[in-house]
Structure 1
Amino acid sequence: GVCLASAALLSGRLGRFFLALLERLRGGPGSGRIASMLGELRTWRADKAFVLRVALLAFLVQSLRVLTHVMVASAMDIELDATRILQLYVLVPVLGVAVVLPISFNGLGVREFVATRLMPEVGIAAETALAMQLVTYLVQVAVSLVGGLVFVVMLLQGRLRLRRESPK
């Protein structure tokens, strides 16, 4: 779904349609930001190699998220066959989209609620899905904390500099 939406927005014809629609809705909340985003997407469309690299990076990140779920499931003795692992490639990004909704702290509760509704559809019991999501969340927090510590150490050692850009 996300890939199709991105491809559609990168399309010149659809981009022009959205810009024309925004012109009609001029002054609506966020219309300037959306027009700016569509303009950026138009410039990226010309650099197909860049778009491909971004898509591959996004796929890698999602694959690592799925791998985390698979490893947690394995540690919890949850049997996942190849079909269920492929189904996780659909479900895990849906969970990722659900947690960005600004209705809880860091997606806590939202991710677990969505998982307990979706995972039974692929044969993972709701209780198991809940436990799996909580453990996966803790693993992801632990990995993020390690990355944060590495960042701070590199910053303090002077091996990393923060760039300050002027606001647009």
Structure 2
Amino acid sequence: MQATVRPASAEDAATIVALVRGLAEYEHEPMSSVKITEADVLRDGFGPERRFEALIAELDGRPVGFALYLYNYSTWEGRAGLFIEDLFVLPDARGHGLGRKLITAIAAIAEKRGCPRVDLNVLDWNPTRDFYHRLDITHMKDERQSWLPYRMRRSAIQALAQQADASWLTLPGE
């Protein structure tokens, strides 16, 4: 079987949505939690203001996985890095090196763009953590500090935004 990775294109929008749904299923999340649509993928991945980039993993030409990544910024490094939002290979396509190909492709992109680091989050129960460790991708927790991921959800965003003095804020096109 031939395992390949290629950059995603606008024609992959439906595939990306389907793979996000596959990821949600793998993570035991209800399908109702997946809100992304093909229109979202087209707008944010391939529109004039790209919010993310993606790679597609194929097995004998069939899309079976993806990695979705975007820039973050390190004030300590003074450089942009990459953040892997999702990396997923369908269960029936695992064992062909596609996860490794996705990771090494992102590493090559980071190296070419001068990004000093690539960040990602992994669920504590996910056996893929062993795979990352074998590639020298390290869990950041140590005795001195422990970074814990936090998230501001829509309700908190709305509540806090109402409290802001943001009269200076204008959006493109306003």
Q: Which has the larger radius of gyration?
A: 1
1 or 2, which has the higher strand percentage? 2
Above 0.5 in TM-score? no
- When normalised by structure 2's length, the TM-score is 0.29
**Which structure is higher in RCO with an 8 Å CA cutoff and minimum separation 6?**
2
TM normalised by structure 1 equals 0.30
Which structure has the highest helix share of the two? 1
